Structure 1
Amino acid sequence: MTVLAKRSSDRWLRGIRGGARVPAIAAFVLGLAASLTATADTFQGPLEQPAQSSSLAARGPLLAIAAAGSRFVAVGQRGHIVYSDDAGNTWKQASVPVSTDLVAVSFASATKGWAVGHGGVVLHTADAGATWTKQLDGRKSADIAVRYLESKVGGLPSAQKLVEREKRLASDGGTQPLMAVHFESETTGCVAGAFNRLFCTEDGGNTWTPWMDRIDNPNELHFYAIAGCANGICLAGEQGMVWRFDAEKGRFVTRALPYQGSVFGLLADGADTLLAFGLRGSLFRSGDEGKSWERVSIGSQAGITSGAVLPGGAILLATQAGEIVRSLDAGRTFARLKPTRPMAYYGVMSAPGGKAVLVGSEGVRVEAAHD
C-alpha cells in the first residue's frame, strides 16, 4: 500500500505492533509499495491510472474472490480484476479505473459488488464485475471523517483525539488502506482497514458515514476482516481481536480470542458457528456469537488466509503454504486434502461439482473439495 509516513512504514516493515511480528499475509497486504508523492502536474498515481490490460491477469497474484450469482470475480495486484462464467476454467479481465492493489471483494447480489484496497479505494460494479467505478479513496474518506468527527466534538469524549488522528492521516496523503468489505444488501454495507478505519453506507455507496467512534478499539488496531455473523456484523484484526456489533449499544464490542496474533478472516456457517483464523495455523471456534472460544487444530503452522462453507455445510480453509483442510462437523475437526497444484492461497470459494476455486500467489486454481 502507499505508506502513511516514514515512521509508520518502518514500524510495519520491522513487524512491530504491540510487540508482535507482523505475519506474512499482513505484511503482503500492508507494506508492499513505497510512497508515491510526486506532484499531480508530473505524475499520476495508481488511484488515477486505470489497470493495464494483461493476458496474464488470471495468472498473477490474486488476493480475494467472491461469487456474483454463478460468476466468480477475483481481485489482485495492480488493479487487476478477473471474472469467470464457467466455474473458474476460463477468465476475462474487467475494466478497472485504478491500478492500486485490491485486497477484498464482496457481492450483495448477482450484479452489484464492491472491492477495496490500497489507497483507501472503494470500487463498485453494477454488471457482475465486468466494469468498475471508483466510489471512494483515502483522500476523500479522510475529509469525510474529519468533518463528521468535528461535528461530534463536545458531545463525544474521544472525538477530538479521533479528529487529530484523521488530520494526521490526511496530511500523509490519505492513503491508508482498506482491507475488508461486506455488503448485506445492495444498499447496506461497510468497509474496514488500517488504524481503526470503518465506513458504512445505506445508499449503495453514494454516501459514507465514519463509524470509528462506534468501536471499542482504543489502540486503533488494524482491521483485516469483516463478515456477517449470527445476528449482526463482526470485525477481526490485530492482536487476536474480534468485535461484534451490538445493536442495543449501537457499537462494536470486543469478543477477543485467547490469542495475541493477527486474525486474517472470519467465517460463519449460517447458524451459530463462527470461526476466526489467522497467523501460524491459529483457528478458533465459537458457538455463542464469540462470547467464548475454543482452539481447533488444523495440523499446520501455516497462516490460514481464507475459508468457505460448501453446500451441505462442509467447511474449507486454505493456507499460505498451499494447504487445504476440510471439516464435516461444523469446524470441530479438520482433515487435509491434497491439491494437485498447490500455491500460497489467499481466497477460496465453493464451485459446482464438488470443487473449489482458489486464488493466490500464482493466480487461479480449481481443485477438488473432497478426498
Structure 2
Amino acid sequence: MRRLAFLALACAVSAQAAAPAPAALTEPALISPKALTAATLAAARAGDRLLAAGERGTVLWSDDGGKAWQQAAVPVRAGLTALRFVDASNGWAAGHLGVILKTSDGGKTWLKQLDGLQAAQALLATASDDAGRRAAQRMVEEGADKPWFDIEAIDAHQAIAVGAYGLAMVTRDGGASWQPLPTRAANPRGLHLYGVRVVNGQWFIAGEQGLLLRSSDGGATFAALASPYKGSFFGLLASDSGALLAYGLRGSVYRSADAGNSWVKVELGTPLSLQAGMAQRGELTLLAQTGELFSSADDGLSFTRRPPPAGPLPAAGLAAAPDGAWVIASLRGTRRASPTP
C-alpha cells in the first residue's frame, strides 16, 4: 500500500511540475509540395512500397520504386529519425520529442502512440529506487526533449524503441501501451542508445562509447557485452545466417557469429562514419555519411566499396526498391540510384 500511495503522490506532483507540451506535439505535419524535397533521416520498405521520414514530421511514400513521392498524414511536427515495418501494412516511426507513431495502412496515415511527456511519466511510475525516481522526475520537469534514435518491430504487436540518455521502451500490445525496459543496470551512465535489433529471439542494443547490450529473455533483463571498440556504434545489422554486425564511427564494423560473445573487426578501409545498414536478398549494405556504399555477398566477412550512386550527399538512411535500386534518405531529400555492376 505504501508503494501504491507513493506512486500516486509522485504522479500527482510530477503532473504539476511537468513541462507543457510543445506545439510540435499537438499540430499535424504541414502538407506542402516542399515536403517532397525536405531533409529525410530514415528510409524503409513496406511490401512494394517505399517510405522516407525526416524533419517536421514529414513522411513520404512511393509506390513506383522511389521515382515519385506523396506525403502522408502525420499528427505531429516533430522530426522523425527511424522507420521500421513488419509487413506491407504495419509499421512504426520514432523521433524527436519522444514521439512514436504507428501506421496500419502502409504508411499513408499515422497515429501518435507516445511522446516524451508520456515516456517520462511512465519512467517515474515504474522507477524502483530513489536514483531512478530522481532521474525520472528530472525528465518530467525537462519536458519532451529526448529523441529516439532507432526502433525495431518484432511483429505487429511488439516493438522496441531506443534513444538518448539510455532511454529504452517496449510495446507488447501493438502500441496501446509502452513500458520502460530495464537497461539502467547494464548502462549505469545512461549512454545514448543508437541501434536495436532482434536476432534469433535475442535482443541487442548498441550505443555510444562502444556500448553493447543483450537480452536473452525477451527484454526482462539486459547484460552488457564485452565490447571490441570504444567509439560509438550507430547501428546494428543482421545477416540471413544470424550473424550480427555493429557499425559506427570512422568506418568501424565488427562482426559476431556467436550472438555477441565474441567480435571480429571487418576492414572497410574508410574513415567515414557509417549511418545505416540494410539486408536484402542475401547481400548486406552499409551506408556512409557521404552516400558511399559498402556491400557484402559473403555474410559480412568482407565488403566492396562502391562510389556514391547519387553523387556525394549527407546521407542518413537506406532502403531497397522492389526493382533493386537503392533509395537513400539524406539532408537533401530522397535519392534513387541503380546499383553499380
Q: 1:93: Cα distance to partner?
A: 0.5
CA distance in structure 2 between the partners assigned to 1:309 and 1:302 by the alignment: 20
Kept after mapping to 2: 8 A contact 1:80/1:93: yes
Counterpart in 2 of 1:145?
123
CA distance in structure 1 between the partners assigned to 2:301 and 2:27 by the alignment: 46
Kept after mapping to 1: 8 A contact 2:149/2:195: yes
Q: 1:137: Cα distance to partner?
A: 0.5
Counterpart in 2 of 1:29?
none
Work out which of the residue numbers 77, 80, 87 in structure 2 matches 1:109: 87
Identity, in percent, stands at 37
CA distance in structure 1 between the partners assigned to 2:330 and 2:225 by the alignment: 29
Q: How many residues are paired up?
A: 322
TM-score by length of 2: 0.90
Q: Structure 1 regions of 5+ residues with no counterpart? A: 1-38, 153-158
Work out which of the residue numbers 14, 24, 31 in structure 2 matches 1:53: 31
Going from structure 1 to structure 2, the CA distance change for 1:221 and 1:44 (only over 3 Å counts) comes to closer
Kept after mapping to 2: 8 A contact 1:64/1:75: yes
Give the aligned residue type for 1:271: S
Counterpart in 1 of 2:297?
328
Going from structure 1 to structure 2, the CA distance change for 1:57 and 1:215 (only over 3 Å counts) comes to farther
Counterpart in 2 of 1:290?
260
1:50-199 matches, within 5 Å, as: 50-149=28-127, 152=128, 159-199=129-169
Going from structure 1 to structure 2, the CA distance change for 1:290 and 1:162 (only over 3 Å counts) comes to same
CA distance in structure 1 between the partners assigned to 2:292 and 2:36 by the alignment: 20
Counterpart in 1 of 2:178?
208
SS of alignment partner, residue 165 of structure 2: coil
Kept after mapping to 1: 8 A contact 2:251/2:268: yes
1:257-296 matches, within 5 Å, as: 257-296=227-266
CA distance in structure 1 between the partners assigned to 2:130 and 2:113 by the alignment: 27
1:336-347 matches, within 5 Å, as: 336-338=305-307, 339-347=309-317
Kept after mapping to 1: 8 A contact 2:123/2:180: yes
The reply to whether residue 243 of structure 1 matches residue 213 of structure 2 is yes
CA distance in structure 2 between the partners assigned to 1:209 and 1:109 by the alignment: 23
Kept after mapping to 1: 8 A contact 2:72/2:109: yes
TM-score by length of 1: 0.83
Give the aligned residue type for 1:116: A
Work out which of the residue numbers 288, 292, 304 in structure 2 matches 1:319: 288
Give the aligned residue type for 2:125: R
Kept after mapping to 2: 8 A contact 1:230/1:270: no
Give the aligned residue type for 1:238: E
CA distance in structure 2 between the partners assigned to 1:277 and 1:267 by the alignment: 8
Q: 1:297: Cα distance to partner?
A: 1.7
Q: Mean alpha-carbon deviation: is it higher for 335-344 or for 180-189?
A: 335-344
SS of alignment partner, residue 169 of structure 1: helix
Q: 1:248: Cα distance to partner?
A: 8.6
Kept after mapping to 2: 8 A contact 1:230/1:271: no
Going from structure 1 to structure 2, the CA distance change for 1:108 and 1:352 (only over 3 Å counts) comes to closer
Q: 1:326: Cα distance to partner?
A: 1.0
CA distance in structure 1 between the partners assigned to 2:201 and 2:240 by the alignment: 10
CA distance in structure 1 between the partners assigned to 2:315 and 2:79 by the alignment: 17
Work out which of the residue numbers 323, 326, 335 in structure 2 matches 1:365: 335
SS of alignment partner, residue 251 of structure 1: coil
Runs of 4+ in 1 over 3 A off after TM superposition: 212-215
Going from structure 1 to structure 2, the CA distance change for 1:341 and 1:213 (only over 3 Å counts) comes to closer
What CA deviation, in whole Å up to 9, does each residue of 1:330-370 have, x standing for no partner?
11111122314331221111223332211112111122234
